[in-house]
Amino acid sequence: MLAVQNAHVEFRVAQTKKWPWSPAGVVHAVNGVSFDLEPGQTIGIVGESGCGKSTLIRSVAGLTPLASGTVTLDGERVQYDNRASMQRLRATMQMIFQDPIASLNPRMTIREIVTEPLSFFRPEMHIDKRKAAALAMLERVGIPPAQANRFPHEFSGGQCQRIGIARSLVAEPKVLLCDEPVSALDVSVQAQVVNLLKELQREMGLALVFVAHDLGVVRHISDEVLVMYMGAQMERAPAADLVRAPKHPYAQALLSAVPIPDPTVRIAPQMLEGDLPSPMELPPGCLFASRCPHAMTKCANAKPPMLHRDGHEAACFLLEDTPEELDASLEHH
């Protein structure tokens, strides 16, 4: 349904502390990420703040330009500079955003907000049918149709996210990009929204891309998890396998910080030391080398290839060197 191949995103920024005529610097925000997704499947994208996960899905949606790489949607390569291709993309792929209140127009009633996508994608539909479809969708996400003439500020954050979900799904897209959709909500409301997304996915056969920095939430909703660091893919594996036995040292450190709801299990979070490299001057070797507790000499000079092992895909030299001992040392949880 969705295939992203070798996606790169760059931002040009003015250089500070240099001469005014110095060339602009380039921030390498996303560095060669690839993944694919079947109908009804969810891929979770995790990583610390600033690792490029939101930028990646914004570029897939066409909101931020891709510097290079390809996106194939429902068998057709997306051409971001072609109007017809973008219209097909918008009808097939929708997005929900991190801030549910800011993502709704405060001057429109929620009925107008949810009806609007049908005006774009189903202009042939009679206006009464559009309104009826919008009310049915609002009811499906748990908003009573009697409240449809209210404005967004009259709803809580969790209800606004439900309205955002109704807006994105009313025209029946096949792919839904979720950009940290629950991080602004209370924990109990997070669970309700995640369960609602799972139900709607089952009913509509949606392919979901779910970005979050909370691995607990991602583990609950995802079939597969992709771990990003400095804009690059560190590891990708089925969610249960990645949580049980991560192969990449960065995934291991990230998972060690996830609280486990069992008082008998104690895992000391791994503190990563060392500085992150500048995204404007990426190192020639492994991007994680400056903080990796297992770093070797070659890690600073050569890029680790993406290696496959036991269903995991990880960019780390350790996977080719001493696999058995490494597995024992990395296995946790």
* Closest distance to ligand SF4 from the beta carbon of 314 (Å): 8
Decide if residue 227 touches ligand SF4 (CB under 6 A): no
Binding test (CB under 6 A) with ligand SF4, winner from 140, 150, 198, 294:
294
Token pair of 103, please? 């993502």
* 318 binds ligand SF4 per the rule CB under 6 A: yes
Residue 230 interacts with ligand SF4 (CB under 6 A): yes or no: no
- Choose between 231 and 304: whose C-beta lies nearer to ligand SF4: 304
Instruction: Give the whole-angstrom CA distance, residue 184 versus residue 157.
Output: 8
The only residue of 169, 286, 326, 330 in contact with ligand SF4, by rule CB under 6 A: 286
| Binding residues for ligand SF4, total number by CB under 6 A | 13
- Residue-wise burial string across 87-97, b where 16 or more C-beta atoms lie within 10 A, e elsewhere: ebbbbbbbbbb
Residue 333 C-beta: closest distance to ligand SF4, Å: 19
299 binds ligand SF4 (CB under 6 A): yes
Q: How far is CA 326 from the centre of its chain?
A: 29
Q: Contact, 225 vs 44, CB < 8 A?
A: yes
Residues 19-78, interacting with ligand SF4 (CB under 6 A): none
- In the complex, least distance from residue 259 CB atom to ligand SF4, rounded to whole angstroms: 24
Can residue 317 be called a binding residue for ligand SF4 (CB under 6 A)?
yes
Answer for the pair 178, 208: CB distance below 8 angstroms, yes or no.
yes
Among 209, 304, 312, 326, binds ligand SF4 (CB under 6 A): 304
Are the C-beta atoms of 282 and 274 separated by less than 8 Å?
A: no
**Among 46-54, 175-183, 223-231, 311-319, the segment contacting ligand SF4 (CB under 6 A):** 311-319
264 by Cβ neighbours in 10 Å (0-12 / 13-18 / 19+) ranks as: exposed
Beta bridge partners of 176: 94, 208
Tell me the β-bridge partners of 12: 26
Determine contact, residues 248/71, Cβ cutoff 8 Å: no
- CA pair distance 114, 96, nearest whole angstrom: 13
Token reading at 327: 């597995």
295 binds ligand SF4 (CB under 6 A): yes
Does 141 help bind ligand SF4 (rule: CB under 6 A)?
Answer: no
Using the rule CB under 6 A, which residue among 249, 255, 272, 330 binds ligand SF4?
A: 249
Residues lying near ligand SF4 in the complex (CB under 6 A): 249, 286, 288-289, 292, 294-296, 299, 304, 316-318
